[in-house]
Structure 1
Amino acid sequence: MRKLCYIVLTFLLLPGARAQELLPQPESKFITRFPFRQFSGGVMVIQAKFGDIPDSLNFILDTGSGGISLDSATCDYYNISSRASDTLITGIGGVRKVSFVFDRSLLLPGLKVDHLNFHINDYEVLSSVYGEKVDGIIGYSFFSRYVVKINFDSSQIEVYTPGKVKYPREGTLLHPAFTNLPIQWLNVKDKRNMGFNFYFDTGAGLCLLLSEDFAKDSGILLSKRKPVITQAEGLGGKLQMRLTVIRELKIGPYRFRHVPTYLYKDNYNVTSYPFTGGLLGNDLLRRFNITLNYPNREIHLSPNSHFDESFDYAYTGLGIYYVGGKIVVEDVIKGSPADKAHFMVNDEVIAVDRNFSQNMQVYKAILQRPNESIRVLIKREGTGLKELILNTVHIR
């Protein structure tokens, strides 16, 4: 997510000025199709090649990114030289200057995208969260050039030229505000019912995030809510947020009830409050097949086979990360189920629910079951192997 400046352009019609002729828009044409995978929270990752490097790299597809970027460790490994700049990017972990790799190419299956300026960022935390190397993030620099169709039923992405698009009959057509990021009007209801602007963010592995300032000023949350403290990750590192639910969220004609919601103390105004109240993430958006039509400033949503899937209501207070070839406990929230189960920072996770795969995505899926007792085998320095019982709870 990138902090943006908003510029309003005013056009004056002068006497005698001739109206520009509106030409019919050509039909959008198919270019290519390729698969994607999903990390936890519905975050999409694709493989692509950078420049003349023969290896395929992992890129997250992120409408919450105002450009395109590479991981600093990837640049070091492949000796990709960059140039310092005064450009600042803002993420949930803070503000930082970034370097750039200018005028390079990205090779997707069946499509070469030229003249891209990649900014450099540190994605070590994202790699440790997902248990796989994250080499970069693809955002506005790509989406602004094409029509992109995302099918969560087939896990396929189709890319088309800009032009007139024939959308599916079923579904709804949104007309978000566009800066470098799409901004969509949503209706949210808990203590009260209200509408507000939210970022449309496929790179966020959550359903809904509200800035604490928005939640406080709007009085949106019921007083009975009991948010819990949880760990979150993003550009710039890790930080703690609060987690609760809201009664209802509506996007276009589609309603979702009892939606898990993060509350974020936005010290750097990443969410641009009071213009926007937060963001809509991909754990909710993955329930639609999506057509991103940035050139025409349109987004089409069509409910898919995941539409009625249950949300993730489980809470553990346990933060596990893939570090140095091991899955390690790095966060235990005080008073949480993980704390009550006597987890400790630096515990090495050997198995979860008798699953020894060492697959972060599998383990996170197991830990997303609310109100269950889950056996976790850990290795602790000085005591060896130990089995802990983690009793997950249901957020409310």
Structure 2
Amino acid sequence: MAKSLLRYLLLSLLLCISLPAVSQGFAFNHGKEKSPKIHFELVNNLIVIPLEVNGTPLRFILDSGVKKPILFNLTDQDSVALNNVSKISLQGLGEGDPIEALRSTGNVFEIAGLKNPYQEVYVVLDRSMNFSPALGINVHGIIGYDLFRDHIVELNYGRTFLRFHNPDDFDGKMPRSAITLPLMLQGSKAFVEAGVVVDGGEEVEVKLLVDTGSGDAVWLFPDQEEGLKVPETHYEEFLGRGLSGIIYGKRTKIDQLRLGPHVITDAKAAFPDMASFNALKDLQDRNGSLGGAVLKRFNMFINYPAGELTLTRNARFMDPFHFNLAGLELEHAGMRYIAEKITDSRGVVREDQGNFGNVQILLQNTTRLSLVPEIVVSAIRAGSPADEVGLREGDVILAVNGKPVHRYKLQEVIQMINEKEGKRVKLHIERFDSDLVFSFVLKTLFK
């Protein structure tokens, strides 16, 4: 697969560098709301939050698996001023070498009613480290531990908001159905114990990283002695990209995932290739990670100071897990003009169906040209329905089952293509200035 492939499975970008201890963290602004609340966007199970860096508004993914904030995808349009900059190397997930980056200290980070005037941040210079095309929205960085470490973070996936509580003032009131699990902190990372049943075996106790920066469900590290073997029914898949390269693994299902008394059956799972973790020094007794596709089924209080994770099931708990049935990876790749008739056969102006681009040109008051994001095929899984009918990387998606894709967000288009097993999908695509149509039937890989 192409090196530029990026997927929403962001995967805790675990840093393996020596970082100086910094005592200053996010503090509540005096005169602001006692427990500040902020709404987030949930995009492919990832939490995207607004955050100001030295007065510049940016978008960050909330990634509990990352130690220090990381900036990427910065352009001259963002105009972010950073202080006290020096060059370093970062090592993270993936099979590649460490990457070049910048370290900056003494920056002012603000979110809701919290402020850190001495924030340390890293800037990745590799332009391929850009998750925006795969997410369909502009994202500038990731932040995690520094937001969690001193506060009780109320994370409401059901109503898509975060609330920060001061542990000294928190009244401790929880929903009646809430259950509290021990949250084990090792350095900057938080772990929870769970139980998994794999391929009809006995339940195995596992220690999982709580990873809001992964859009996947469960990652398990293969370990025959622990009873964590890869189920016979699986397929090879691109799982995502870490700081040090692309991560591959085996996609499958597990019979059961248990968090306290909460049991999820037929959970989506992956067994990553362990070569991607060879450079990391802090795996210790970790058995895998717990990502957004599971976490979003709960509303929670994440309490690093007390070492507690409090969970309440929400309306998403019974949602089915989604798989890439078509075998296509899609991403945004620049912009394109599309032409639409705005009058009917009698010359009457049609009702406006929405603004599909920031730039619009009217031609003789009958046709509208709109500048819209271009959606392209970024990868195809070998042997998948899309591969079998001849789709290729670089194909531009124009319509799905007759619906023009410029009317939809990227993630909505992905859902349309992978709606359900047995559904026939017809894709209208552009390839080298030629319009082509491909049709295939979605099929499961777990029979």
Band the TM-score falls in, shorter-chain normalisation: 0.7 to 0.9
Query: Are 2:256 and 1:248 equivalent residues in the alignment?
Result: yes
Structure 2 counterparts to residues 312-331 of structure 1, below 5 A: 312-325=322-335, 326-331=374-379
Q: Which amino acid aligns with 1:112?
A: K
Deviation at 1:30, TM superposition (A): 3.5
Structure 2 counterparts to residues 353-372 of structure 1, below 5 A: 353-358=401-406, 359-371=409-421, 372=423
How far apart, in 2, do the equivalents of 1:322 and 1:271 lie?
35
How far apart, in 2, do the equivalents of 1:49 and 1:336 lie?
42
Deviation at 1:58, TM superposition (A): 1.2
Deviation at 1:135, TM superposition (A): 0.5
Query: Are 2:191 and 1:190 equivalent residues in the alignment?
Result: no
Q: Which amino acid aligns with 2:105?
A: F
SS of the equivalent of 2:92 reads strand
User: Aligned residue for 2:395?
Assistant: 347
How far apart, in 1, do the equivalents of 2:329 and 2:263 lie?
31
User: Aligned residue for 1:260?
Assistant: 268
**Do the aligned partners of residues 278 and 3 (structure 1) sit closer, same or farther apart at CA in structure 2, a change above 3 Å counting?**
farther
**Do the aligned partners of residues 356 and 124 (structure 1) sit closer, same or farther apart at CA in structure 2, a change above 3 Å counting?**
farther
Q: Which amino acid aligns with 2:383?
A: G
SS of the equivalent of 1:393 reads coil
Deviation at 1:76, TM superposition (A): 8.3
How far apart, in 2, do the equivalents of 1:4 and 1:189 lie?
31
User: Aligned residue for 2:218?
Assistant: 208
User: Aligned residue for 1:12?
Assistant: none
The answer to which of 122-131 and 190-199 deviates more is: 122-131
Per-residue CA deviations over 1:203-250 (Å, capped at 9, x if unaligned) read 100111123xx2445443475x32122223233354432211010011
Query: Are 2:101 and 1:98 equivalent residues in the alignment?
Result: yes
Residue of 34, 38, 52 corresponding to 2:55: 52
SS of the equivalent of 1:267 reads helix
- Per the normalisation by structure 2, the TM-score is 0.76
SS of the equivalent of 2:134 reads helix
User: Aligned residue for 1:199?
Assistant: 209
Query: Are 2:87 and 1:39 equivalent residues in the alignment?
Result: no
Contact kept? 1:245, 1:395, Cα under 8 Å: no
> CA-atom RMSD, angstroms?
2.5
SS of the equivalent of 2:146 reads helix
Percent identity of equivalent pairs: 21
Q: Which amino acid aligns with 2:174?
A: Y
Q: Which runs of 5+ in 1 are unaligned?
A: 7-28
Deviation at 1:370, TM superposition (A): 3.0
User: Aligned residue for 1:132?
Assistant: 137
User: Aligned residue for 1:63?
Assistant: 64
SS of the equivalent of 1:31 reads coil
Q: Which runs of 5+ in 2 are unaligned?
A: 1-11, 19-32, 336-373
How far apart, in 2, do the equivalents of 1:157 and 1:227 lie?
36
User: Aligned residue for 1:386?
Assistant: 436
Query: Are 2:170 and 1:119 equivalent residues in the alignment?
Result: no
User: Aligned residue for 2:353?
Assistant: none
Contact kept? 2:152, 2:302, Cα under 8 Å: yes
Number of residue pairs matched by the alignment = 367
Q: Which amino acid aligns with 1:364?
A: I
**Do the aligned partners of residues 292 and 201 (structure 1) sit closer, same or farther apart at CA in structure 2, a change above 3 Å counting?**
same
The answer to which of 353-362 and 257-266 deviates more is: 353-362
How far apart, in 1, do the equivalents of 2:224 and 2:283 lie?
12
